[in-house]
Structures are given as C-alpha cells and as structure tokens.
Amino acid sequence: MKTQNVGNTEWQASSVILGNMRMDKLSVDEAAEVIETAYHNGINFFDSADIYGKGQSEIIFGQALKQSSVNREDIFIQSKAGIVPPTAENREQKRYDFSREHLLNSVDGILERMQIDYLDSFLLHRPDPLMDVAEVASVFDELEKSGKVKHFGVSNFNTEQFKLLQNNVSQKLIINQLQFSIMHSGMIDVGLHANMTDSQSVDHDGSILTFSQNEGTTIQAWSPFQYGTFDGVFIDNEKFPKLNETLEKLSLKYGVTKNAVAAAWILRHPANFQVILGTMNPKRIADSAAGADIVLDRQEWYDIYLAAGNQLP
C-alpha cells in the first residue's frame, strides 16, 4: 500500500482510507472483519462523521475495533461534524452548525461512541454560512489543548472559504474532503477548459485543486465509485459502456478489478489525494486497495477521462 504525507506534515498514512458511512448496516462481527481486512491490506486510516447512521456507524466501529485484532494506536481515526440533519422528533431541523457548543458536544459524542480518547483528525463537514471564524478558532484551540484532536481540516470547502478559516485559526488545515472521481471530475475539467466558454470551464470550487496543490493540502476523494450525488455506482453500470470497456481493458492489463483502476485514476494525479472507499464488502475492500499500487501511464489516465464522456478542448 502506497503511503503519503498528510498535508505538509510528517504524518504518514495510507493513500487509501476506509469510510464508515455505511457501517451502521453491519453487525459488530461483520464490522470487525471489515476493519481487519482493511488493515491487513495496508489501510491504516478510517473516516467517519457524527451523522453517519445517526451515530450508529460510530458505535458499531468502536465496538468492532475493540473486538478486532487491530490496535487503536496502529491506525488513524478521523471524524467530521457540523451538519445537523432532521430527526424523527424534529423533521424541520436541518442546518449546518459551527457554533462552539455544537462542535464541542459533537466531538465529545464522537469519542464516546467510538470509545476512543482522541481523533487523529477532525474536519468541519460542510460550510456553515454563519461560521464565526473567531469562535471556530477557540474551538480548535480547546480541542487541541485537551488532546482530543491532533490535526484539523475541512470538507466540501471552496478555496475562499478555506482561506477565510485558515487565516483565522492557529492550526494548519491539512485536509479538505471533496467529492472526486472519474464521474465527478469538475476540479479537473475546469483546469482543462481554462480560457474557454463551454460549461466545463465554469469554476464551481474556486480552483480548489490548484489551490490545494499550492498549499500542500491533502484532498480526500469521497464517493470514488459513484456518479451524481449517490445516484449509483458507475462500475459495471450499463449506463456507462465506454467507461467500463476502458476500465475492463486496464483491469486485465494490471490484473486488478475495475474498482482498483478507478482508485488508481484518482491517485495518479500529482496532487496529494487520498481515496475514501465506502464499500463494506471485505473482498471489494481488498480488491480496491490494490489500486494504490498501480501507476497508470499518461495515455491510460487520459483514456479513462475521455471514456467517461469528457472532451479535451
């Protein structure tokens, strides 16, 4: 498994992460197998969020980790907070909340559910327009001082939002978790279509890719095998015949699955990407993790991009 520095720090972690968004559906035994499979295939980084499965994903993860043969000290655990989804009791409630009270309570809840003492990294899950940067700065200081969080970052932030927060907190923001895959490649499209007037030239994220490369921020690619926003999986999907034909050809060449080739496509970019797998299938975890050991050549990378329906200017 390829490892890399997270952000511009000395922190070395696996390039492939396992996300536990879908772990709430597993039994503790199944989740322990998932954690062990990931770890034995070189994945030492696990991503979470307080809202996954309404907290149940973190409960299952915590119990499964204790039951598994994997030591907490041998892995990195990350979680996110700041989204308040509607609940059965309060269906109207939906907001983003970066208030001091909400964030501090969220981190305490995360640690309690996962039965751990600290997070290796903590991310703000999705931008809150009411973010008071001084308030967030005091939260980060307190979380760092108490030892509850080692590193800080964000998720789904554009460039200017990132800069605004970075200019006001003492800690370096080393991670931005963003949707990115062969079928969700806006941050690549905008660079390729610079100086054009077509729809791919429209910048939705403030050149977040080049900004992150300049800053040394690690982009963690979420939903690496989905198209749309959770519309479905593009691998082996008859809606995408050309893409699957190209993935199949390369999977035969490298002796891996199409998932691995799709992960390798993300990791081939020289920005400091990590890929977050969401599969809860042990075989698929092992197969997909193998993508970290493949380096696609330039033409192969472009072939995949074009097979996904993209065009070069």
Ligand X SMILES: NC(=O)c1ccc[n+]([C@@H]2O[C@H](COP(=O)([O-])OP(=O)(O)OC[C@H]3O[C@@H](n4cnc5c(N)ncnc54)[C@H](OP(=O)(O)O)[C@@H]3O)[C@@H](O)[C@H]2O)c1
Return the range that interacts with ligand X (CB under 6 A); candidates 101-109, 142-150, 182-190, 216-224: 216-224
Residue 47 within binding range of ligand X, rule CB under 6 A: yes
Residue 277 within binding range of ligand X, rule CB under 6 A: yes
Residue 215 within binding range of ligand X, rule CB under 6 A: no
Q: Out of 26, 107, 124, 235, which residue is the one contacting ligand X (CB under 6 A)?
A: 235
Shortest approach of ligand X to residue 72 CB, angstroms? Answer: 18
282-289 vs 258-267: helix axis angle to the nearest 10?
Answer: 40
Shortest approach of ligand X to residue 228 CB, angstroms? Answer: 11
Structure tokens at 145: 């001082």
Residue 281 within binding range of ligand X, rule CB under 6 A: yes
Residue 236 within binding range of ligand X, rule CB under 6 A: yes
Return the range that interacts with ligand X (CB under 6 A); candidates 35-43, 60-68, 202-210, 228-236: 228-236
Structure tokens at 15: 């390039």
Nearest residue (CB) to ligand X, 230 versus 302: 230
Structure tokens at 272: 């400091």
C-beta separation of 52 from 21 below 8 A: yes
- Using DSSP bridges, classify how beta strands 218-222 and 173-179 pair: parallel, antiparallel or unpaired: parallel
Residue with the closest Cβ to ligand X? 278
Nearest residue (CB) to ligand X, 153 versus 193: 153
Q: Out of 149, 266, 280, 286, which residue is the one contacting ligand X (CB under 6 A)?
A: 280
Return the range that interacts with ligand X (CB under 6 A); candidates 14-22, 30-38, 87-95, 142-150: 14-22
Report the Cα 114 to chain-centroid distance in Å.
19
Structure tokens at 7: 């952000």
Return the range that interacts with ligand X (CB under 6 A); candidates 15-23, 145-153, 164-172, 245-253: 15-23
Task: Report the run of H or E that residue 263 belongs to, with start and end.
Answer: helix 258-267
Residue 284 within binding range of ligand X, rule CB under 6 A: yes
Site for ligand X in 91-130 (CB under 6 A): none
Residue 200 within binding range of ligand X, rule CB under 6 A: no
Residue 233 within binding range of ligand X, rule CB under 6 A: yes
Q: Hey, which bits of the chain come out as E strands?
A: 3-5, 12-14, 16-19, 45-47, 76-81, 83-84, 95-96, 119-124, 149-155, 173-179, 218-222, 226-227, 232-233, 274-277
Angstrom distance (rounded) from CA 171 to CA 167:
10
Q: Out of 19, 62, 82, 291, which residue is the one contacting ligand X (CB under 6 A)?
A: 19
What phi and psi, each to the nearest 5 degrees, are found at residue 69?
Answer: -90, 5
Residue 226 within binding range of ligand X, rule CB under 6 A: yes
What phi and psi, each to the nearest 5 degrees, are found at residue 91?
Answer: -70, -25
| The dihedral formed by the CA atoms of 33, 34, 35 and 39, expressed in degrees to the nearest 10 | 100
Nearest residue (CB) to ligand X, 162 versus 193: 162
Residues found near ligand X in the complex (CB under 6 A):
19-22, 47, 155-156, 177, 222-226, 233, 235-236, 259, 276-281, 284
